[in-house]
Amino acid sequence: MNAYLQSVIENVKKKHGNEPEFVQTVEEVLSSVGPVIDRHPEYEKLDLLNRMVEPERMFTFRVVWMDDEGKYHTNIGYRFQFNGAIGPYKGGLRFQKNVYPGIIKFLGFEQVFKNALTGLPIGGAKGGSDFDPAGKSDAEIMRFCQSFMTALYRYIGPDVDVPAGDMGVGSREIGYLYGQYRRLKGTFENGVLTGKGMSYGGSLIRPEATGYGAVYYLQNVLEHEGESIKGKTIAASGFGNVAWGVCKKAAQLGAKVVTLSGPDGYIYDKDGVVTDEKINYLLEMRSSGHDKVKDYADKFGVEFFPGKKPWTVKADVVMPSAMQNDVHMEEAKQIVANNIKYYIEVANMPTTNDALNFLRQQKGMIVAPSKAVNAGGVATSALEMAQNSERLVWTKDDVDEHLHHIMNTIYKMSVDAAEKYDLGYDLVAGANIAGFERIAEAMKEQGIF
Ligand code: GLU
């Protein structure tokens, strides 16, 4: 490996030993870009890599809120504005009890490359809080969001930094956050947040976009292999907004998702999550706050496997759509043993690096990386920003068509980037390189920063 590259990775390992998720994503991304560094010696002179692994700005803030009994609680809020070279910082907020700087940093770093890969003018950021939404009342969520935004509003804006949702932050939270932003600023700047409700500037298809985009990407991969999506079975994990969109688009195109998972285990539905009733029920399960996928098994009389993940199930396609490090080495071996040809990551960093490398080495297996596959979500957020600044609303078909086109372009850019550096058909390296090239050029042209 290129010596400069190696030294940057070593530095990150030394400096961030207590943030393993961040080290993991830096190693994953940078291990792809060696050929680019070799071809562009000026990047080392400009020390681009050390600059890229250091967020432009990151801050934490105190978020104090009162529960329904009048008790005070104190959480930490985070916003890491990682890289703004190609556009305003953009990326979600995650509210989850295990949030700590290493999680926000890994997500922020991934976001920079993902956003660049969309071809749209959006920089990368991430934020959130160690607040645990489980079991909180609506009023508690509202007070928390108001307090969070009171601390954050000075540092964001439609041309500065545009947060959105992620785990634990959906349209309800975005609504409360925006209400507080508007109250504090006294202006209707709704381009400051994306994932909004339709009544105040949200975009049609944004809720579905991540899942829809993932299936459009899958279609590109299948087409490359001369196969059709019709009749394919998909083993997915998770049952949140992303898995929901995957189920919906897969069903529309004649494929079926046969597994879903939660913290309590997984369900197997041999008929697939294909009817409107089943697909809509996922939304109910999510908003109930139970966080249990067993509810699906109880309602539809399908099998439930407590405490297990769905990676032993035989299907045509695997789509991990839950969270980071969902597939480890053992599970990757199981997936290979089951002769699954398509491994399509959907959640951010769902695979450990050793498992990912193992899967990539399998002959005949196609591995697609999450930063390309799930980029339809943030891309549609950029379409929401465009609509807000144009002060108009696009039709559902308009947004869906744009999304479809963007996903095809992301796929093609990845394929081309890998070919350009003689790496063959390598969707993982291609995605990293395509994103990297765009950011590197913008940083180079903008001088010291
Ligand atoms: N949290 C989503 C992601 O990981 C969406 C971010 C956004 O829409 O800004 O890309």
User: Which pLDDT band, with edges at 50, 70 and 90, does 289 fall under?
Assistant: confident
Give the pair of three-digit tokens for residue 421: 């550096």
Q: pLDDT tens across 371-427, in order? A: 999 999 999 999 999 999 999 999 999 999 999 999 999 999 999 999 999 999 999
Q: For the residues 175-193, what does the mean pLDDT come to?
A: 98
- How remote is the C-alpha of 197 from its chain's centroid? 20
> How far is the centre of ligand 1, averaged over its atoms, from the C-alpha of 378 (Å)?
5
Rounded to the nearest integer, the mean pLDDT of the chain is 98
Please tell me the distance from the alpha carbon of residue 443 to that of residue 437, in angstroms, as a whole number: 10
Please tell me the distance from the alpha carbon of residue 449 to that of residue 443, in angstroms, as a whole number: 8
User: Given a cut of 90, is residue 301 above it in pLDDT?
Assistant: yes
**Across-strand partners of 161?**
89, 157
Choosing from 111, 205, 387 the residue with most ligand 1 atoms within 8 A of its CB, the one to mutate for a pocket test is 111
Please tell me the distance from the alpha carbon of residue 423 to that of residue 197, in angstroms, as a whole number: 43
User: Given a cut of 90, is residue 370 above it in pLDDT?
Assistant: yes
**Helix (H/G/I), strand (E/B), else coil: 247:** helix
Give the pair of three-digit tokens for residue 393: 């609303």
The most distant pair of C-alpha atoms in the chain lies apart, rounded to whole Å, by: 63
Please tell me the distance from the alpha carbon of residue 437 to that of residue 52, in angstroms, as a whole number: 12
Which protein residue has the closest C-alpha to ligand 1 atom 10? 378
Q: Which atom of ligand 1 lies nearest, measured to the CA of 94? A: 1
Pocket of ligand 1 (CB under 6 A): 90-92, 164, 166, 194, 348, 377-378, 381
Handedness of CA 249, 250, 251, 254 (dihedral sign): positive
> How far is the centre of ligand 1, averaged over its atoms, from the C-alpha of 91 (Å)?
5
User: Which pLDDT band, with edges at 50, 70 and 90, does 105 fall under?
Assistant: very high
> How far is the centre of ligand 1, averaged over its atoms, from the C-alpha of 150 (Å)?
22
Please tell me the distance from the alpha carbon of residue 354 to that of residue 372, in angstroms, as a whole number: 20
Which strands sit side by side in the sheet containing 161-164, from one edge to the other?
Answer: 57-66, 72-83, 124-129, 89-95, 161-164
Q: What is the DSSP letter of 169?
A: B
| Cβ proximity of 126 and 41 under 8 Å | no
Q: pLDDT tens across 53-62, in order? A: 999 999 999 9
Q: For the residues 252-276, what does the mean pLDDT come to?
A: 98
Of residues 267, 266, 350, 258, the one with CA closest to residue 307: 266
Question: What pTM was computed for the model?
Answer: 0.97
Q: For the residues 69-94, what does the mean pLDDT come to?
A: 98
| Cβ proximity of 125 and 92 under 8 Å | no
Q: Which atom of ligand 1 lies nearest, measured to the CA of 114? A: 10
Give the pair of three-digit tokens for residue 441: 């050029």
Q: pLDDT tens across 245-258, in order? A: 999 999 999 999 99
Handedness of CA 146, 147, 150, 152 (dihedral sign): negative
Q: pLDDT tens across 137-157, in order? A: 999 999 999 999 999 999 999
User: Which pLDDT band, with edges at 50, 70 and 90, does 1 fall under?
Assistant: confident
Q: Which atom of ligand 1 lies nearest, measured to the CA of 381? A: 8
Please tell me the distance from the alpha carbon of residue 148 to that of residue 426, in angstroms, as a whole number: 41
User: Given a cut of 90, is residue 234 above it in pLDDT?
Assistant: yes
Q: pLDDT tens across 118-131, in order? A: 999 999 999 999 99
> How far is the centre of ligand 1, averaged over its atoms, from the C-alpha of 114 (Å)?
9
Helix axes 101-117, 375-390, angle to 10 degrees: 70
**Helix (H/G/I), strand (E/B), else coil: 195:** coil
